[in-house]
Structure 1
Amino acid sequence: MDSVPGVPCWVSLTVRDRQATEDFYGSVLGWSFTDSSLGPGFRTATREGDPVAGFNEAAVSWQLPVRWTVFFSVDDADLVCERVRERGATVAVGPLRVGEGRAAMAADPYGAAFGVWQGELPRGWAVGAGHAPAWLELRTGDAFAAALFYGAVLDWTKNPSHGVSYEEQSDEVHILVDGETVAGLRGGGIEAASDPQIRTRWDVYFRASDIDAALSAAERTGGTVVSPVQHAPHGRVATVRDPDGGLFRLLGI
């Protein structure tokens, strides 16, 4: 599926210790790393030549927390940031020129961080395809309210290919493009929760062909298994914290 404005177009990790972080993800998920066209301090993770994710040193240069961020493709970063502020949410950084594009970091009204990107998109990258993330999910306090926010900010109604399905019983929203699910929004998240399993945030799921081996590699290279393997509708899932503090999920088929 080709990426269109308003939907996830990339994921990126802010890091402090680039070498240790790359060693960790290389061991756990078999990634390789190359310099990015975005400029110094940016790297691209690949698997079998396919782009997977971005790494950047913004945790140091922009004084941002170490975390995985979901970026949404937009036509006009300035306009989108105006909409974010108008709806009581926060723009933390930007829009700034990054390489040949423009990027901004924001937080929705419930505290979940996300990014917007105006510019060229990685070729062949799509959620659920190849080695890109298998799934993206917003854990939030109210999935329906969050969907209204993102829909208004990202102008989902402008593009007829966009759609949203809502499961009221489970308070879960699915974002659709041409009938394909590209991300989910799930209720029950709490911004100040002590348990990382229920904090408000965007979760990035990466596939692991052998999740048990991947978890062993994570612990061996300085990571922490935050939650043991659990059975979910899409497979076996575990939450991991990398050596720099970034949280993500592993999904075993």
Structure 2
Amino acid sequence: MAHDLAAAQDFYAAVLGWRYKPGIQGRGNYAVALVHGSPVAGLAAGARLMGFPVCWTAYFAAASANRTADRVHERGATIAVGPIPFGRGRVLWAADPDNAVFGIWEGEVDPDWRAGRHAGVPARLELRTRDPFASALFYGGVFDWDVQRGEGRESIDIGYEDDRVVLRIADEPVADLLGGAVEAAPDPRVRPQWHVYFRVDSTDAAAAAALAAGGTIVSPPDDSPFGRTAALRDPEGGLFHVSEPEG
């Protein structure tokens, strides 16, 4: 969610190498970011209209937006917007019991959205929250993470690794849930939220490119269990992370 779509496109092209195509039936306020011709993210100029801050939002696919919304309510969380029609599907925005915002998508998921391990693709999602185990129970119940997949379906596994809860799909880590500072010393400026990581060839080079394009460095490049990472903000304040694989 951005204020100025053209400016956002220019910034992320400079930092992540993205190219773009119009999205949502050619509407001018939405663009799809491409890496090697495959879609990897969506950018929309709807932050002011929808009352959202400039931000990146994690979306999870669901067979039924209505049924998933019911599960969200049943577990003490809230629905902010939707479900509403969006392109060829329906979308809703929700907040978990600790007010971390996430999106739910009902509709066809284009297989091209899996762009492999190229620079510029989403690397993983990270939820920073007060109680990662309680959050794992919440999201597991909402999205059936704990349901054994049948033959031909991707396996889903939740485990405890490197002081965090890690969600793996088909043996690939796709999301982790982390407590720590938010839990131990609540700070109104550090709220529970989902963080999006994008893969880069060089974290240091990406941080330098962000500065040159008018962004800021929130956390400088540093090594982590998931490779060398950095936290950055775009010129409108949108927070995102970059991650350089180990080795």
- TM-score, scaled to structure 1: 0.86
Structure 1 residue 88: Cα displacement: 1.4
Structure 1 residue 84: Cα displacement: 0.9
Residue 187 (str. 1) matches residue 179 (str. 2): yes
Percent identity of the aligned residues?
Answer: 45
8 A Cα contact 1:125 1:132, kept in partner = no
CA 193–88 in structure 1, closer or farther in 2 if over 3 Å, else same: same
**Residues in 2 aligned to 1:139 and 1:128: alpha-carbon distance in whole angstroms:** 25
CA 50–128 in structure 1, closer or farther in 2 if over 3 Å, else same: closer
Of 217, 242, 247, the residue aligned with 1:250 is 242
Structure 1 residue 38: Cα displacement: 5.2
CA 179–207 in structure 1, closer or farther in 2 if over 3 Å, else same: closer
8 A Cα contact 2:35 2:121, kept in partner = no
8 A Cα contact 2:123 2:174, kept in partner = no
8 A Cα contact 2:124 2:173, kept in partner = no
Q: 5+ residue gaps in structure 1?
A: 1-13
Bigger Cα displacement from structure 2, 71-80 vs 28-37 = 28-37
Q: Deviations over 1:16-70 (max 9, x none)?
A: 1111111110111111111013552221011221211101122122121211111
8 A Cα contact 1:137 1:186, kept in partner = yes
Residue 163 (structure 1) aligns with: 157
CA 38–144 in structure 1, closer or farther in 2 if over 3 Å, else same: farther
Q: 5+ residue gaps in structure 2?
A: 150-154
**Residues in 2 aligned to 1:181 and 1:84: alpha-carbon distance in whole angstroms:** 24
* Matched AA of 1:141: R
Residue 55 (str. 1) matches residue 19 (str. 2): no
Residue 65 (structure 2) aligns with: 77
**Residues in 2 aligned to 1:39 and 1:94: alpha-carbon distance in whole angstroms:** 22
- TM-score, scaled to structure 2: 0.88
Could you say what secondary structure the match of 1:134 adopts? strand
Residue 95 (structure 1) aligns with: 83
**Residues in 2 aligned to 1:15 and 1:139: alpha-carbon distance in whole angstroms:** 22
Of 55, 70, 74, the residue aligned with 1:86 is 74
CA 36–228 in structure 1, closer or farther in 2 if over 3 Å, else same: same
Of 126, 129, 133, the residue aligned with 1:144 is 133
Residue 104 (structure 1) aligns with: 92
Of 222, 226, 244, the residue aligned with 1:234 is 226
Could you say what secondary structure the match of 2:15 adopts? helix
